Every structure is written in structure tokens, then in C-alpha cells.
Amino acid sequence: MAISFDNALGIHEQALYLRSRRAEVLANNLANADTPNFKARDVDFSSLLSQAGKALQQGNAASEPRRTNSRHLGLDAAGDGQLLYRVPNQPAVDGNTVEEHAEMARFAKNGQDFEASLYFLNSKFRGLQTAIRGEI
């Protein structure tokens, strides 16, 4: 097939996936806002995205080690090792580092960025459709 979705959609597919993963991490932080000793976590989005971009350029299959058994631990881009701990502005007495307002703001921002990625993907699809139809 002449159309390769990987080439056509570019980085936005990866960005969308990373956004949805980050939403999960932030949701987990918010749900644990009252859990003693819970440490808020987040991902370094730009480094993950650049990693995904490099993987895209080199071809997906080559850069990511394949799992031959379902019980092998993954080394995927958004895996355990990439989750970082947040440094709180005001540490709480109970050892919890979730700052609800800040997390909520990040969650909202992440949602908007998700929308942006979706918008770009939609534009790509529209472009493809226009190309297929041959209309202007």
C-alpha cells in the first residue's frame, strides 16, 4: 500500500498516546491526594516524545526490544523507568506530595494538549482523504 500511516501521521500518533498515558498518571496522583506517604509522579513528556520521534525515524521494529514471553518485563517508552517523582512546593506533614490544584491544572492542560494532538491527527486524515479523492 502506498500510504503508510506511520509516515503520514508523523509524531502526532505517539504524542496522543503519551498524552493519554500522562492523563492516567495525573489521574492516579489526584485519586491519591489524601493517601498518606503517596508520592506524586509524572513523566518527562518532551524527552519521551523526542525518544518516540527517534524511534519513528529509525523504524519502530529496530529500536524497541521485542518480548518473546508474556511474562517478560517491558522496556517500552512509557514504562516504569520513565516515571519521575514530583518535587512539591509545600511538603505535607503526612508525606503526601500531591498538590491538588497544581495537579488539576496539569491535568486540564494535558487534556487540552490531547485535543491539540487530536486536531492535528484529524487534519492529517482530512489531507489523506483529499489526496485519495483527488479533489481540491
Partner 1 sequence: MNSIFDIAGQGMTAQSVRLNTVASNLANAQSAASSVDQVYRARHPLFAAVQKDAMDAQAGWSDAPDAGEEGMGVQVLGVVESQAPLERRYEPGHPLADKDGYVLYPNVNVVEEMADMISASRSFQINVEMLQSAKTMAQRLLSLGQ
Provide the binding-site residues for partner 1, judged by CB under 8 A: 16-17, 20-21, 23-24, 27-28, 30-36, 38, 41, 67, 70-74, 76, 78-80, 83, 100, 104, 107-108, 111, 114-115, 118, 121-122, 125
CB nearer to partner 1: pick between 81 and 134: 81
Instruction: Name the burial class of residue 29, with classes exposed (0-12), middle (13-18) and buried (19+) by CB atoms within 10 angstroms of its CB.
Output: buried
CB of 54 to partner 1, least distance (A): 17
CB of 87 to partner 1, least distance (A): 18
CB of 22 to partner 1, least distance (A): 10
Distance from C-alpha of 136 to C-alpha of 134, rounded to nearest angstrom: 7
CB nearer to partner 1: pick between 47 and 122: 122
Identity of the residue numbered 130: T
CB nearer to partner 1: pick between 8 and 57: 8
Distance from C-alpha of 33 to C-alpha of 108, rounded to nearest angstrom: 16
**Chain centroid offset of residue 135 CA:** 35
Sole residue written with cell 486540564: 108
CB of 136 to partner 1, least distance (A): 21
Distance from C-alpha of 105 to C-alpha of 98, rounded to nearest angstrom: 12
